[in-house]
Structure 1
Amino acid sequence: MIERRTLRRNLRELPPAAWLLFAGTFINRFGSFVMTFLILYLTRRGFSAQQAGAAVSFYGVGGVVASIIGGELTDRIGRTRTITLSMFASAIVMIALSQVNLLPAILVLTALAGLTSEAYRPASSALLADLVPAGQRVTAFAALRFVLNAAFALGAATAGLLAQHSFFLLFVADAATSVVFGLLALVAIHDVHAGRPTTEDQGPGGYRSVITDRVFLMFLIAMLLVAFVYLQSYTTFSLQVRALGFSAAVYGGLIALNGLLIVLLELPLTSWTQHRAPRPVIAAGFLLVGIGFSVVAVAHVLPLLILAVLIWTIGEMLNSPMAGAYVADRAPAHLRGRYQGAWGLTWGVALILGPVVGTSLFAWNASGFWLICGFLAAMGAVLVLLSGRLREASARRGS
């Protein structure tokens, strides 16, 4: 009962503007219908599975570029303006995508969809960091993840119903929800930083400042390693489950278990984690992710597969909100967009490399691959801890 009251108090103390941001994020994520059904939409129109897969890859490339451009725009023109620009542009691209028939045009527009739909993310995270005091950011970023997971689950079910009537409705609804979020950001949410550095924030800017932050760069490398491992849950893990003779429904149930645990437990867990030093908690989360995926190497029965998912999900719940808060705390206010963009870039690169490298290694040696995943995540944990040592050494030299 104490933790529940603590969590309730933490959520109640979040500023109203943060709740408006959550509401807009929920609406937009709920309406992310097109990418969920893009492969099915294209194959039903007569394109091959390879061509449809290429379209999804182009979306991923656009998303990588979006992290860089979105971070830059966030710090230059402001958080809410970037969100509004991203959402309005995304709506236009989605409608255009519904009207084209030739594969080259589809590939170009899916890349633009990735760029416009994902460019708001650095701005959204930077805005949340602006709105919420440092001590409440772990809870705030966990609440944001809760909103994203819940909205995606509800949106996917709704998209399935709409697709039975008309795929064009998916594009229209996707565009409409983007416009609603854009209007909400434009009219209702006050940009407390507006991209203008204060006197104490003055100094070198641009992504050069991010790259020369050696402590943060070490964190990004660690994040890239763990993101590569975690994203195997959507690619090679499905191959492993099928290779063991289980149905696609079993794989879906395992992934649903991950999402259900996050929705139910991640926010309450922040009542404990937010009072801890970030690096040890993040490192522990990375290590548990590695252990969970390593268990897959010996998981030949369903209970062990469930155990593997439970372990890596606990790791995810430990590290993800803390990592979001850590990035926000690490960044100077006038560079928060770029720091958030760099963090998002690690996930984008992992999304591009993960399926290709992961499936190749899995085909080479399935059991060995899962042990490699465990090693990579453990290396990520070590790098996070070493980054703390590097910061302490830098502080001693500066004193």
Structure 2
Amino acid sequence: MSEQTSGQPRRTMRQNLKELPAQAWLLTIGATINRFASFATVFLVLYLRSHGFSLPKAGAAVAAVGIGELVASVLGGHLADRIGRRNTIALSMFCSAASMLALSQVRPFLAILAVAFLAGTFAELYRPAGAALVADVVPEGQRVTAYAVLRFAINLGFAAGVATAGLLADHSFFLVFATDAASSIIFGVIALLSFPDNRSPAGTQGEGRGGYRRILSDRAFAFFLVASALVALVYFQQQTTLPIHVLRQGLSKTDFGLLLSLNGLIVVVFELPISVVTMRVPARQALSVGFLLIGLGFALTAVAHSMPMLFVTVGVWTVGEMISAPVGYAYVADLAPKELRGRYQGLYGLFWASGTVTGPILGGLLFTVSANGFWALCGVLGLAASALTFGIRQRLVTLGEDDVAAIERAPGGLKP
């Protein structure tokens, strides 16, 4: 996403959607089918409890899935650059199908933990490859729209799928795992038949750790990763301290569910139209506004003691999410050299997913000390992430000439 956008003609959302390449649509269709049925891990606690496992053991299995997902961010990015986007997606989906079926059959607890880890790893292994594939096939000026379409479809598929999963689970938990596996196989076949075999040339196969040294020397990307980790810590409070706050106000679990439903509804209805605006705005500015709104939305939770006020706070941080999420993927794609796109996206995914670990731990500790103080801290972290992102380019002028030249050679690097 270029930092220079003022000369671009205004385009409608329909024009942007019509001009997306076929492979971007096929990726969206495959990911949507897969996400529609990616509900086995959502029901994992209920499944294990039905087999007599204690809640702590069931929770440990879910944690194993989460650890696997973190590993997948780095491993998936590496594989996307080494064996190609198509092969990584196919490997991810076929192995995910096998691990889901295995998870429905294993009984020893240690075996469940091991298979749950593999299930989490393989289910998410495709994500960096998918993000890199979008950057490969979609022109720079259309990437925000492409990532917004992908997020829209995945969110819609998951929302519809969870409701369907409940019906399946009432009949048989095996149907939940089997349907999840079937959707993965479908996505894997779509990948093999439709996506290009873009394995790295022989000259780049041996980069290994050298590739990561190049990535970490990209100061713009390094600062953006730090900013992303800060705002992710705030964003994932929706899963930890926010429900506690809601119950403390005398509201119900149903009310909390309505708040999260509002988030999903707003994203589905408004993210694509918003992407038409954000694609014309310099990336750093859009990301800074988005991060600031996420922090502000959670900070306002301190004064939200009723459902109407909570709806307002959710609306604020959801707008921030819709602004920053598609632009973030596009910004990373533009910073990355083609041969490192998978690893760039993988590291971005890892730092964002770090919020699922840091959020519950720090949130749980600090919220018990001072709830209002913690919400204020969320605002400060959002402001810090916003300022850090907006200041990326100014910080880069202090780099040596070799560093600047390397970044300028990257697609979407420093612009004149």
The alignment's TM-score, normalised by the length of structure 1, stands at 0.95
1:381 aligns with 2:375: no
Q: Which residue of 2 aligns with 1:50?
A: 56
Partners of 1:5 and 1:135 lie apart in 2 by 11
1:360 aligns with 2:369: no
* 1:205/1:335 contact within 8 Å kept: no
1:119 aligns with 2:119: no
**CA positional deviation for 1:180:** 0.6
Q: What count of residue pairs does the alignment treat as equivalent? A: 394
For residues 8-58 of structure 1, give each alpha carbon's deviation from its aligned partner in whole angstroms, at most 9, with x where no partner exists. 110000001111100100011111020111111111221122211111111
* Higher alpha-carbon deviation: 125-134 or 377-386: 377-386
**CA positional deviation for 1:194:** 2.7
Two-structure CA RMSD over aligned residues (Å): 2.0
* 1:238/1:251 contact within 8 Å kept: yes
* 2:235/2:355 contact within 8 Å kept: no
Tell me the amino acid that sits aligned with residue 317 of structure 1: M
Alpha carbons of structure 1 residues 203 and 169: separation in structure 2 relative to 1, 3 Å:
closer
1:281 aligns with 2:286: yes
Q: Which residue of 2 aligns with 1:262?
A: 267
SS in 2 for 1:35: coil
Structure 2 segments unaligned to the other structure (5+ residues): 1-8, 406-416
Partners of 2:117 and 2:10 lie apart in 1 by 43
Q: Which residue of 2 aligns with 1:349?
A: 354
**CA positional deviation for 1:353:** 2.1
Q: Which residue of 2 aligns with 1:99?
A: 105
Q: Which residue of 2 aligns with 1:32?
A: 38
* Higher alpha-carbon deviation: 373-382 or 41-50: 41-50
- Identical counterparts, % of pairs: 50
1:253 aligns with 2:258: yes
* 1:197/1:334 contact within 8 Å kept: no
Tell me the amino acid that sits aligned with residue 295 of structure 2: G
The alignment's TM-score, normalised by the length of structure 2, stands at 0.91
1:214-253 mapped onto 2 (5 Å cutoff): 214-253=219-258
Partners of 1:109 and 1:265 lie apart in 2 by 38
Partners of 2:222 and 2:317 lie apart in 1 by 24
1:89 aligns with 2:95: yes
* 1:4/1:268 contact within 8 Å kept: no
1:1-399 mapped onto 2 (5 Å cutoff): 6-191=12-197, 193-196=198-201, 205-394=210-399
Alpha carbons of structure 1 residues 389 and 332: separation in structure 2 relative to 1, 3 Å:
same
Alpha carbons of structure 1 residues 204 and 332: separation in structure 2 relative to 1, 3 Å:
farther
Partners of 2:13 and 2:241 lie apart in 1 by 36
Tell me the amino acid that sits aligned with residue 266 of structure 1: E
SS in 2 for 1:33: coil
Alpha carbons of structure 1 residues 381 and 182: separation in structure 2 relative to 1, 3 Å:
same
Tell me the amino acid that sits aligned with residue 59 of structure 2: G
SS in 2 for 1:36: coil
Q: Which residue of 1 aligns with 2:413?
A: none
Structure 1 segments unaligned to the other structure (5+ residues): none
